[in-house]
Amino acid sequence: MEIQVQGLTKIIKKQTILSDVTLSFSGIYGLLGPNGAGKTTLMRVLTGEIHFNEGSVFVEDELVSTTNYVKRINHIGYLPQDFMIYPELTMYDVLEHIAILQGSKSSKSYYDRIMEVVNQVNLSDHVYKKMRELSGGMRRRVGIAQLLLRKPSILLFDEPTAGLDIEERIRFRNLLKQLGKRHTVIISSHIVEDIEFLCTKIGVIKNGKVLFEGSPDELKQRAARCTYEISVPLSELDEIIATKEVVQMNEESSHVVVRVLSDEPVGQSVSPRLMDGYLALLKGAAYD
């Protein structure tokens, strides 16, 4: 299922938060941008939570925006950055409550559905723990479970791995990858590694404007002629950091391998990665 956004503009207190945004969301889609780029605002517009000033939103070519709002539709599910609800209730009780609010008819029908979605998010061993006893990553998986109760076709996630430790981040990424086989998944993040691992299509926004939309390989190519690695002794590292656009450093036994973006040849030219392309794009024409 595809969502198309055309010419979307959002103004808050005379400040333009989104400016003429046109994007086409499908597959596992990564919405990248620095903090304050307008990503969360765009996600909230898509869910119908807030209004917009201009533009249109389509789902599968059906216009779903009227009077500057996106109609609330069951096949869109949204998980904000942190999901915490009823901390003194067990996970099962929370999901049961939500199932009842959604209109399940009998205890048997919502019990079966709850256990189905709990298994989908790999939390069956924790189903009777209180919400406050769960880790941040587990709470976010409960958030996914409550979305799946009503079987949406499109899932929106805002900074889904922010604040998680490495182990939980990997576990959460794997879950999102599995969900992408059955749903359209839109992931808003400033963490490039999440997008690189998960997404088949990427949009980049900065200051509310679209800078790029395309495949991960196309974004990488933005840094095809400006990505280099330099091997330097530790004693020269400070000078490199002060004078070069450093992307990454890997310390070896006697030296440091420094990955840099440069408009002039330096060190050894290497194939760009997604982070290189993303940073080159944000820097604008300097590396074109």
The structural domains of the chain, with segments of one domain joined by +, span 3-215, 220-287
Comparing CA positions, the residue from 167, 20, 161 lying closest to residue 79 is 161
Tokens found for residue 14: 């005379």
Per-residue pLDDT, 285:
47
Per-residue pLDDT, 234:
85
Q: What's the topology of domain 3-215?
A: Rossmann fold (3.40.50)
Which of left, alpha, beta for 13 (phi over 0: left; psi -120 to 50: alpha)?
A: left
Q: How far is Cα 147 from Cα 249, in angstroms, rounded to an integer?
A: 40
Q: How far is Cα 99 from Cα 113, in angstroms, rounded to an integer?
A: 9
- Taking the chain (288 residues) in runs of 10, the rounded mean pLDDT of each run is 93 94 95 92 92 93 87 80 84 91 68 90 92 89 88 89 82 88 90 88 96 95 92 87 89 88 90 94 68
Q: How far is Cα 55 from Cα 133, in angstroms, rounded to an integer?
A: 43
